[in-house]
Amino acid sequence: MTLSINKVYNKDCLEGLDQLDSESVDLLLTDPPFGIDFDKVGSQYNRKQKDLGQIYTEVKEDYYNFTLQWLQAAWLAMKPTASGFIFSGWNQLFNILNALSTVGFRLVNHIIWKYQFGVFTKKRFVTSHYHILYFTKLPEKDDKLRTFNRISEYSSSPGKLYFEDVWRIKRDYQKGGEKTPTRLPLAVTDKCVRIGSNEGDLVLEPFMGSGSVILSCIKYNRRYIGFEISEKIFSVAQNRIQMIKQQLNEKGDNLERWLANKR
């Protein structure tokens, strides 16, 4: 492996995936670009490409082939027992599902993440949910080898419905400081990391964004590697990562020693 573990990289994920050891990743967890040209969809998203400037790098090519290409590279990097979570809006969901099947992944669950607000619409129902595709490399006959942790505090809270396939988790309001599009709340990434991997496992984030997946990995003692193509968003992610490391160290967590031992 030519890349260091427990680091994030400002580069295209295809370039990064090509530098990973084969069958080294335990969990893939990512929120790829939407595949939406915001200049052509009207005002309901309240953001246009010109307003985002150089912050957000969108995919305007054939989305299926784009997805197929990075999933094929991810397959090579993932262990035979590995699983993954992909976040998706409705508009490119069929392309992601088709690409997953073509590459050879097996879908375990189609999760709906229901949040507290949606985009403004006049002639259709308001979209206030996100799709989370939970999948694995394992064939069904070997499914007992798949990591799926029944977290004790989740299991003991039946009223919160943590193990149903509809997740009711609020999106973050980004108050002050640098804002980024589509930031995942830690309540979501924490849940995926804790259920889908074990301490010391390697988590891959090909489209890192502002770094929520990486923050969850640091909190719960997972090794990680992340890629983000946008220089601006990468800078935001680095700042968030440094902040959580500082917070954990201030609490007395021996984080830096743990990370050093895992490199």
| Percentage of residues in the chain having pLDDT higher than 70 | 77
Contact present, 185 and 211 (Cβ < 8 Å): no
Phi, psi of 95 (to 5 degrees): -65, -40
Residue 120's pLDDT is what?
72
Residues 6+ apart with CB under 8 A from 11: 227, 229
| pLDDT (average), residues 159-172 | 80
Q: Is the pLDDT at 157 greater than 50, yes or no?
A: yes
Q: Is the pLDDT at 82 greater than 50, yes or no?
A: yes
| pLDDT (average), residues 26-44 | 68
Tens digit of each residue's pLDDT (9 = 90 or more) over 40-76: 444 433 444 443 434 445 665 699 999 999 999 999 9
Residue 205's pLDDT is what?
98
Using pLDDT thresholds of 50, 70 and 90, give the confidence band for residue 152.
Answer: confident
Whole-angstrom distance, CA of residue 122 vs CA of residue 27: 39
Q: Is the pLDDT at 216 greater than 80, yes or no?
A: yes
Helix (H) or strand (E) holding 226: strand 223-227
Strands of the sheet with 166-168, listed across from one edge: 7-9, 223-227, 202-205, 25-30, 78-88, 129-136, 106-114, 166-168
Q: Between 177 and 246, name the one with better pLDDT.
A: 246
Residue 215's pLDDT is what?
95
Using pLDDT thresholds of 50, 70 and 90, give the confidence band for residue 121.
Answer: confident
Q: Between 246 and 109, name the one with better pLDDT.
A: 109
| Residues facing residue 134 across a β-bridge | 85, 109
Q: Which fold has domain 7-262?
A: Rossmann fold (3.40.50)
Q: Is the pLDDT at 13 greater than 90, yes or no?
A: yes
Residue 141's pLDDT is what?
97
Residue 258's pLDDT is what?
46
Q: Is the pLDDT at 197 greater than 50, yes or no?
A: yes
Q: Which residue has the tokens 């031992």?
A: 261
**Average pLDDT taken over every residue of the chain:** 84
Q: Is the pLDDT at 222 greater than 70, yes or no?
A: yes
Residue 26's pLDDT is what?
98
Q: Between 257 and 17, name the one with better pLDDT.
A: 17
Whole-angstrom distance, CA of residue 238 vs CA of residue 7: 10
